[in-house]
């Protein structure tokens, strides 16, 4: 009897130990922690495509995967506390959607792999030293912005464009890189740049008012703060009859005039494929960052175009890559 009791005790102890350590051993349930910077059309698209692809890969919520999801609502302090919370929960992988939250999640990579989605410039953001061989236990997908291609279209539409306004958040590494590209382009084409920066939604209205007073056109890269303020910024540009060139399809959808770029569904899907690889044990250093820069489309918002009274030049009209958004 004593012996039986002893082995029973042992069994209980062993089970407790097993359940307590490691997550995948925990009844085969994988823990995936996801942090999204803010609710804007593009990041929501990425998250949705990611979720769907995870499902397709066989990760079923409530069966073999547990998601911990948090939205930082565009706030860095909120992002830090979310990351702190993730740390305590020891997920098998952390997924970070957009640059600022990928940067906030970077310290977690000491203990767990981090996969980012849509980080425009992972090297300047200090997430890895090289794209080919990630060296910080962090990898993911990147969305290169086609600044030259966008501004070339702008010049085709208005060859007399003399002053180009740029609006962005200086705190977003992803935008700083692209604004520099816009400045280089402007210099080459004898265009004057007028610059305004914003740090939050509240500043959008007064910032855009400054630009619409003195510019022939306005450009924003795929800046998360501007993308969250499209109803203000795009509306002001339309009112002033100024074309607003933007760094992402979603910003065209949300009232911007034209963009050249990728389709973010593909990027969200690929992020899930990378997470799957990590969960199956591939070392992060063997999963190169995937840069999305092929299969580019020209996105034009039809309503905005009509309000601006612009007619697209023939070469753009005839371009097979043209997508008119209704
Ligand atoms: N690339 C942005 C970043 O690095 C995130 C992003 C994805 C984005 N899609 C966008 C920003 C569309 C603005 C608009 O943070």
Backbone angles phi, psi at 51, to 5 degrees: -60, -45
Supply the pLDDT for residue 27: 65
Model pLDDT, residue 7:
53
- Predicted confidence (pLDDT) per residue in 9-68, tens digit: 444 444 444 444 444 445 689 999 999 999 999 999 999 999 999 999 999 999 999 999
Q: Which atom of ligand 1 is nearest to the CA of 142?
A: 1
Report the C-alpha gap between 263 and 24 in whole angstroms: 33
**Residues in Cβ contact with 280 at an 8 Å cutoff, skipping those fewer than 6 apart:** none
User: How large is the average pLDDT for residues 306-317?
Assistant: 98
Does residue 284 line the site of ligand 1, with CB under 6 A? no
Residue 29 is given by DSSP the state P
What confidence score (pLDDT) does residue 23 get? 43
Nearest alpha carbon, ligand 1 atom 9: 42
Alpha helices by DSSP H, the chain:
2-20, 41-56, 76-89, 99-105, 147-157, 173-188, 204-214, 224-228, 230-239, 249-253, 264-279, 302-308, 314-317
Per residue in 145-190, pLDDT (tens digit) is: 999 999 999 999 999 999 999 999 999 999 999 999 999 999 999 9
Q: What is the pLDDT of residue 28?
A: 85
Give the separation between CA 76 and CA 320, rounded to whole angstroms: 41
Query: Cα 307 vs. chain centroid, distance in angstroms?
Result: 29
106 lines ligand 1 (CB under 6 A): no
Residue 3 is predicted with a pLDDT of 53
**CB of 248 shorter than 6 A to ligand 1:** yes
Question: If phi over 0 gives left and psi between -120 and 50 gives alpha, with beta otherwise, what is residue 130?
Answer: beta
User: What is the phi/psi pair of residue 64, to 5°?
Assistant: -120, 0
| Span 292-315, average pLDDT | 98
Q: How far is the CA of 5 from the centre of ligand 1 (A)?
A: 60
CB atoms within 10 A of CB 295: 10
CA distance 239 to 54: 42
- Is 177 a pocket residue for ligand 1 (Cβ < 6 Å)? no
What's the pLDDT at 6? 54
Question: What does the pLDDT average to over 270-284?
Answer: 98
Query: Of all atoms in ligand 1, which is nearest to the CA of residue 247?
Result: 14
Q: Is the CB of 119 under 6 A from ligand 1?
A: yes
């Amino acid at each position: 009897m004593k012996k039986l009791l002893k082995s029973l005790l042992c069994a209980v102890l062993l089970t407790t130990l097993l359940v307590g350590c490691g997550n995948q051993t925990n009844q085969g349930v994988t823990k995936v922690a996801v942090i999204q910077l803010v609710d804007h059309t593009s990041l929501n698209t990425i998250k949705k495509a990611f979720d769907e692809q995870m499902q397709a890969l066989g990760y079923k919520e409530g069966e073999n995967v547990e998601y911990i999801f948090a939205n930082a609502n565009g706030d860095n302090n909120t992002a830090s506390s979310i990351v702190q919370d993730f740390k305590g929960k020891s997920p098998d992988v952390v997924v970070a959607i957009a640059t600022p939250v990928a940067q906030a999640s970077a310290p977690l990579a000491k203990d767990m792999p981090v996969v980012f989605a849509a980080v425009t410039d992972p090297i300047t953001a200090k997430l890895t030293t090289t794209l080919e061989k990630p060296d910080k236990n962090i990898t993911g997908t990147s969305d290169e912005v086609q600044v030259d291609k966008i501004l070339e279209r702008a010049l085709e539409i208005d060859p007399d464009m003399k002053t180009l306004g740029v609006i962005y958040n200086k705190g977003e590494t992803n935008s700083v890189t692209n604004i520099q590209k816009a400045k280089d382009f402007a210099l080459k084409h004898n265009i004057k740049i007028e610059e305004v920066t914003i740090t939050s939604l509240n500043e959008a209205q007064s910032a855009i008012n400054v630009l619409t007073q003195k510019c022939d056109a306005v450009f924003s890269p795929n800046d998360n703060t501007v993308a969250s303020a499209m109803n203000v910024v795009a509306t002001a540009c339309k009112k002033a009859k100024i074309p607003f060139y933007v760094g992402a399809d979603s910003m065209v959808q949300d009232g911007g005039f034209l963009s050249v770029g990728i389709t973010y569904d593909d990027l969200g899907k690929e992020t899930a494929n990378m997470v799957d690889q990590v969960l199956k044990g591939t070392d992060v250093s063997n999963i190169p960052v995937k840069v999305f820069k092929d299969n580019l489309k020209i996105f034009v918002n039809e309503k905005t175009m009509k309000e601006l009274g612009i007619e697209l030049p023939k070469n753009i009209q005839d371009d097979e890559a043209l997508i008119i958004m209704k």
